[in-house]
Structure 1
Amino acid sequence: MRAGRRTAMFAELLLAALAVPVLAQDSEDLLKLSLSRPAAAYSGEMRVSARGQIRTIRVSHAPPDRWRREALDSEGKPLLIIVSDGRTQWTYDVRRSLVRKGEPADPDYKLMDPDEELALLMRNYELKLSGKEPVAGRSASVLEVSSRITGKPARRLWIGKDGLILRRIAYGEDGAETSSMEFVRIGPLPKGQADFSFVAPPGVRVVESRWKPDFMDLEEAADASGLEPRLPAWLPQGFVFESVNVMPFKSGSILHLRFTDGADALSLFQCPPKARLRLGWRSMGPPKTVRVAGEKARLALSAEGKVLDWRRGGQRFVLIGPLSAEAMRKVAESVP
């Protein structure tokens, strides 16, 4: 197993497992304000678990958009380091001795604005405040997020009185826990950690990333890539198309189509037949052979959920999401 695959699966978790400011005590206001950027500098250590795999993450932040995140191995040594000064992001894969330099994603640049996201989430989920519990030595309010469609829990958030999400648990369709994040230590940002620049160690290869985070509509993506986006005709109840990104691949392109129900996300990659995606999903174990429209496909687990990989019409498709295997198959079979 390549070391890069073992660490790549945690890159998305590093980007997602962040504390955010919350300034109100009404459940809907808490959720709305939690979409804002962190307002205060801090440093801490969190434990992130996904599908049975656990990592310790060190994180530092300084407003408005400077970050340093380090995923550690069992001995406390960094496996993956992501540093952003707001203009440039460096992703250092220590085991592969490789740094990718590119642009950070802008959380404010989306097709769906925060009010639309909140409205979609409120249509699909019910919010409830359910007492207080301590996390990392701090008192936290517990916010429960349950599906209006299934009635089952979807998220549970522990929010500190200073407005930070100190703990988070996500649940699957069957109500079982799929991932979690919990601060074990958090405090003010030390002066010695206020520098968010990055210099690659001697001998480490640095490559400029051709991928630029973007959020396009279907027409823009078709014009930019020369490809016709292949949207599924069937999505689980509550899910809608959110945006698409064009990712360069050799002389062609890969389309990354995103769907959301306000809380969960579903990704569909439309690729050239021989494209290799570094998504880290093989590290969760060997894939199983399944059938999609009577043809062979592969189903596996990743930190982000199930991964279904199939080919049709001279293209490769990779679907990633927190759905059941049957729902994944139905989405795949509806892709033209």
Structure 2
Amino acid sequence: MRTPARLIFISLLGTAALAQASSPTPQPNAVQLLDLAYSGPSSPYQGRILLTKWSGTRTTTEEANVFFSPPERYRIEFLAPDGTVDRVVIGDGQSEQVQLIKQGKTLGGSTSTASQKIMPRDEERRLLAENYAITVAGSEDVMGRQAWVVDLVPKLAGKPTQRMWIDKDTNAILEVKRTLASEKSGADSRFTRFEIKKDQPETLFAFANLPKSQPSKEENAAPAAPPSDGARLAGGFAFAGSDLFDVRGQRVEHLRYTDGLVPVSLFVTRVPVEAPKLQEAASVSSPMYIGLANPVHVSQWKEGSQHYTVVGEVSPELLRQMKLGKTPAN
């Protein structure tokens, strides 16, 4: 997600590269390596990924074409089993648009209703280091490319563990595997084809034009604060941003939290809602984020006149503690 250094090294170092090959390459600092990976490579690339998700005994797979252009523009074309494009996700690091090809619908984008990223990237990285132990577990070959293996292990029980394979030449993330062992669920996303490009057509990353309607009073209204402390949830999750949308005529306030790696969504409504409807409303994730097959667990409660639903890739116990506003012991 840097210039393809392998060819440069061969041409510049010549026989010196062969001498260096006999000695082991020193391992980089894990946090710095992860920071480079999340910053994305300086060179455009494209490829195909295989996304495998499992929950209990159920496993699903999906393929997608991925296009990337620095600094943070991406296009993901999710493919149907027959190879046709089913949906397209376009993002620029701040806004994201989902194009449902077969339904002829477009969601989100650079409009008044688009989800906007509020938390600074530095704060996300600080949270990640605060909530996870980050180590380099060695190096492995991925599609003929050498990659560093980085492990992210949560410091608190009930969160998923993540392993990443980061390309040594470009700092692109070639594979990510996330598992929540206690719930027998997880996901793996890996490139089956990866190619560095000189440039990418601008049209690949263009948002579709959406009608600009006059925002309603509810769309202009600030989302209500969640119960108790709105800045944090139990388990090290900090407020990352919010947006509004409608589900069958009912306004839903979506407050997004993160611990630097895992997203948790808190939905606020005026009437009780069925959790699956909210799961369907969750936004599609960017290439930097690998979600599990479904939000692992859901917790709902009422406080005053508001109904709350929290959805996250964490254990039932951790979600329960979020409801109670307490931080569980590890």
What is the TM-score of this pair, normalised by structure 1?
0.67
Structure 1 CA distance, aligned partners of 2:197 and 2:139?
A: 26
Structure 2 CA distance, aligned partners of 1:163 and 1:118?
A: 17
Task: Find the partner of 1:325 among 293, 316, 329.
Answer: 316
**Contact 1:210 / 1:248 at 8 angstroms: preserved in 2?**
no
1:228-307 superposed matches below 5 A: 228-231=225-228, 235-237=233-235, 239-249=236-246, 253-273=251-271, 277=277, 279-280=279-280, 303-307=294-298
Change (3 A) 1:56 1:224: same
Structure 2 CA distance, aligned partners of 1:311 and 1:55?
A: 37
Identity %: 23
Change (3 A) 1:28 1:315: same
Secondary structure at the aligned position of 2:187 is classed as strand
**Contact 1:126 / 1:147 at 8 angstroms: preserved in 2?**
yes
What is the aligned partner in structure 1 of residue 14 from structure 2? none
Stretches of structure 2 that go unaligned for 5 or more consecutive residues are: 6-26, 283-291
Q: Does 1:44 align with 2:47?
A: yes
Deviates more, 1:49-58 or 1:95-104: 95-104
Structure 2 CA distance, aligned partners of 1:36 and 1:199?
A: 22
Q: Does 1:33 align with 2:24?
A: no
Count of aligned residue pairs for this structure pair: 282
Secondary structure at the aligned position of 1:279 is classed as helix
Task: Find the partner of 1:136 among 126, 133, 143.
Answer: 143
Deviations 1:97-118 (A, max 9, x none): 21235228799x533441x333
What is the aligned partner in structure 2 of residue 178 from structure 1? 186
Q: Compute the displacement of 1:312 (Å).
A: 5.0
Which amino acid is 1:40 matched to?
Answer: S
Q: Does 1:189 align with 2:197?
A: yes
Change (3 A) 1:113 1:210: farther
What is the aligned partner in structure 2 of residue 294 from structure 1? none
Change (3 A) 1:169 1:226: closer
Q: Compute the displacement of 1:316 (Å).
A: 3.2
Taking only aligned residues, the RMSD between alpha carbons, in angstroms, comes to 4.2
**Contact 2:148 / 2:165 at 8 angstroms: preserved in 1?**
yes
What is the aligned partner in structure 2 of residue 288 from structure 1? none
Runs of 4+ in 1 over 6 A off after TM superposition: 85-88, 104-107
Secondary structure at the aligned position of 2:203 is classed as coil
Q: Does 1:92 align with 2:99?
A: yes
